[in-house]
Structure 1
């Protein structure tokens, strides 16, 4: 977080729009629209034969994480994602998609099961962040996220991650260490929320629109920076207006990105995946380096 905020401070004036010509704050609001398709919506329409698996095998079943076996493009896979909901009652029941340590442990269990079965992993990321509550911290939230990141960095099976809505901080990264990272056109992915960034740097949360532009958190900007590999188009004006078409576009993108990974030897997969994320610390043309 500290390094990202230094980049924001040193990066100069933020552009009014991203590479698509859309204002970043408008994209944030679209990504948070309660009508956007959730993980369960995509599992019903973009995948076939979903069978949900429950529990972390230690005593809890976090409702903010759903996962299980499904088929994509005719191939079996393990699909794991954050689940928010559409109504207030659903959002509260799912803790707004903010996973507890039990949720991250459930995801970890399913990732390891996929590796044992030789199945690829597909993750759908849509969370404002991990559960920030006292209880979650007491139950080892930071360690649970770290375990997931470590496991994904060495998982000997293909992993494709899709940021479908909000990709917030460590809660998102716990499911997004992948061979291919995709983003829906109106999704966002950032180390910190615009409101949190504004409160730290300005300090005034009303500067959230300015922070959103400075954070470069939209799909076109992150694709240009090499953080994500592909922007998945959404039906106009956005996925929540035509969920069926959005699901079809997501299914095509996942299948297309997964297919070439299936024949790659496990050792090569792991080496390339680790190299992919290690490149994030390298200075790129047009991107200010972080100096301490």
Structure 2
């Protein structure tokens, strides 16, 4: 059963009517309703299109957090052949919030690292809702360094509300682990490309997104803090998250304008959760282009281009 967001209620009502009519047809309790169903489908499709043409920043936040959006494991299954997952940070333990390993992307050997939120209650608990602990970022560093050793490009898929803020994580050096992962991204001598596929929250995101190219799905968000967290700090009222989201400029469209990201990957009407295969295919095409653009650059040039990109953010002539 499809899950609707609050602002999608007009569409939910229309699609509910369509389902009711189809149920009557299946039971043989209705005849000659084909035209009515087609009219309702057209009306629902137009309503959905109109809604998604003018989404606010807060509505995009809700879409980015939709539980049915494709997750890291879905992208890997569709885009990466012969994927072999690697576990552990060789220091403390395994962190399932960040999943990583090696495989082939369109025939090319690559390293793939990303946040996994989980798709149901059990898997969400297993993956800690995509909120990584220090060992997750240390595992990411280990995989990136291995990729560099063998000359493999690195693909990262970002989808996290932020790094896990628990006491144990802080005791084990959360800030240091994030900083070292960010530093590793910036210093790699191989091409790296990140895609913000849902939420890109704070240091938990940038730790694996300080890359040569940063791509972002059309209705994803990318921010230094969650809208709720910003509202709590600015106004001591998390209920003002909608105001914070608007002011923070967290949408792909705003961030492309500010050159924080390099390209937007289009989503189907209604968001990635309505047509996962379509958005995964579009992401694959965007990754292929980004890696192709970087293919001819040597290690020193890759580092220079990456550093220049991040140093230029926020500067004006």
User: TM-score, normalized by length of structure 1?
Assistant: 0.89
- Pairwise CA distance, 1:40: 0.7
| Structure 1 segments (4+ residues) deviating >2 Å | none
> Do residues 104 (structure 1) and 147 (structure 2) align?
no
Name the SS for the 1:176 alignment partner.
Answer: coil
Could you list the per-position Cα deviations for residues 123-176 of structure 1 after superposition, in whole angstroms to 9, with x for gaps in the alignment?
Answer: 000000001000000000000000011111111000000000000000000000
- Pairwise CA distance, 1:21: 3.4
Q: Which runs of 5+ in 1 are unaligned?
A: 1-19, 285-292
- Aligned equivalent of 2:177: 144
Select 2:215's aligned residue among 177, 182, 202. 182
Query: Larger deviation: 174-183 or 232-241?
Result: 232-241
Name the SS for the 2:197 alignment partner.
Answer: strand
CA RMSD of aligned residues (A): 1.1
Select 2:168's aligned residue among 135, 143, 150. 135
- Aligned equivalent of 1:169: 202
User: TM-score, normalized by length of structure 2?
Assistant: 0.82
- Pairwise CA distance, 1:203: 2.1
- Aligned equivalent of 1:290: none
Name the SS for the 2:158 alignment partner.
Answer: strand
Q: Which runs of 5+ in 2 are unaligned?
A: 1-52
Query: Larger deviation: 200-209 or 121-130?
Result: 200-209
Between the aligned partners of 2:269 and 2:106, the Cα distance in structure 1 is: 24
Between the aligned partners of 1:190 and 1:27, the Cα distance in structure 2 is: 13
Are the counterparts in 1 of residues 201 and 222 from structure 2 also a CA contact under 8 Å?
A: yes
> Do residues 211 (structure 1) and 253 (structure 2) align?
no
Select 2:76's aligned residue among 43, 66, 71. 43
- Aligned equivalent of 2:268: 235
Could you list the per-position Cα deviations for residues 192-230 of structure 1 after superposition, in whole angstroms to 9, with x for gaps in the alignment?
Answer: 000000011122111001100101000111001100000
- Pairwise CA distance, 1:48: 1.8
Are the counterparts in 2 of residues 69 and 76 from structure 1 also a CA contact under 8 Å?
A: yes
Q: Which one scores higher on RCO, CA 8 angstroms, separation ≥ 6? A: 1
Between the aligned partners of 1:21 and 1:74, the Cα distance in structure 2 is: 39
Name the SS for the 1:161 alignment partner.
Answer: strand
- Aligned equivalent of 2:10: none
- Pairwise CA distance, 1:47: 2.0
Query: Larger deviation: 202-211 or 85-94?
Result: 85-94
- Aligned equivalent of 1:83: 116
- Pairwise CA distance, 1:85: 1.0
Between the aligned partners of 2:125 and 2:68, the Cα distance in structure 1 is: 15
User: How many correspondences in the alignment?
Assistant: 265
Equivalent runs, 1:1-292 vs 2, <5 Å? 21-283=54-316
